[in-house]
Structure 1
Amino acid sequence: MQKLIIAAISLLLITAFAVNYKQLIPSSATQDSNKAALDFNAYSVGINTVIYDVNGEINYTIQADRQVQYNDDSTELDKPFVRLFQNGESRWNLLANTGVISPESMANSKEMRSIELSGNVEVYSLDDFGNRTVMTTQKLMLNPQLETLMTDQPVRVETSSIRQSAVGMDADLNSDEIVFHRDVRGIYEYPPPN
């Protein structure tokens, strides 16, 4: 219940800032018809957003150095860090140089908005035994609700015993399934006995 109240208060503060933002623009800028109109409606620095599921559990979080929300409802992120949660625990972490949250008009619903991550994209996780899985690429599409990843770019996946590379990939993080598209190459190193 407290999580829902905190989420509601955060949403109200963001909405109040967005509504009052237009008042912060100098009147001379709005009166000068020769100047270009602003194409964004909100700007934030140092964001930390928590998204909850219908049961009040954390679904995912987004942190970024800077966020700009544009009039078309898309949102640009600098240095995004996304944490996906499963069963109340952080399971997958994604970071990149930039990110773009798709406009609501391009999604089936507000909950199904995708995030396009670009530039030194890294996806990593630790399993129950402390084994690390790392995926790297230059561009990746994330659906945080379905916890799916897609890319048509070269991608590399590494664990303690596997190194796999390919061009293009679809991944379902819920089922830990990865489908590589083409030019697939890999090495498996049998782990030494303890």
Structure 2
Amino acid sequence: PMLGLLNPRSFMARADRSGLLPKLDFWVFERSCRQLNAWSMAGRVNDSFTMSINLAPAQLSNPGLRDHIARVIERYDIDPGMIQIEITEHSLVTDDVRVTKALGELKEQGLRLAIDDFGTLHANLDRVRNVPADALKIDMSFVTNIVDNANDRAIVTAVLNLGSALDLKTVAEGIESTDQAAVLTELGCGFGQGFLYGNPRSPDATAHLLAYGLVGEH
């Protein structure tokens, strides 16, 4: 690439407007599965490992989604349960039967589902209840000031209670400090992600961490 490494925020909106997002999503899914296969063949991961892959809301209306995922999973001999598809809360704001059907088909294929950026768009709770999700991911906007902001703590507590009631794993995003992690732990959040735990790494660097058991749930 002529511009070097780019942050997704710098090109995702343009990719969406230009109609390239479906192709980009499919490319990312295939590359991720290929990498997961490589790590599996090298003995770096087993079937308890989960790789999360984001999927744009528009893809849920793509009639070719199910077949594409099935082909890639078969090509790289991937256990579907090792893949977690992350959809944003925005995907659930409208009551679209195509979205509901697509989510059901993903679950039928054996993949895990997570609702990402939860709490930002006030998705209908009835929709959330009926989505066959495995996890809720609390948007980082509620984590950034959680140490000093009582309202953010109240919202996070509410999401944790919702996740518990629906038997969903709840993950806090954007954790950057030990103080944030401590507050989240005190509130009952058992899972988190963010720069406190590590920065994005190349496949080779990640493989090194996997070899020493430094990646995963601890």
Q: Does the pair score TM above 0.5? A: no
| Structure with a larger share of its residues in helix | 2
Larger relative contact order, structure 1 or 2 (CA cutoff 8 Å, min sep 6): 2
Give the number of the structure whose residues are more often strand, by fraction. 1
Q: TM-score, normalised by structure 1?
A: 0.29
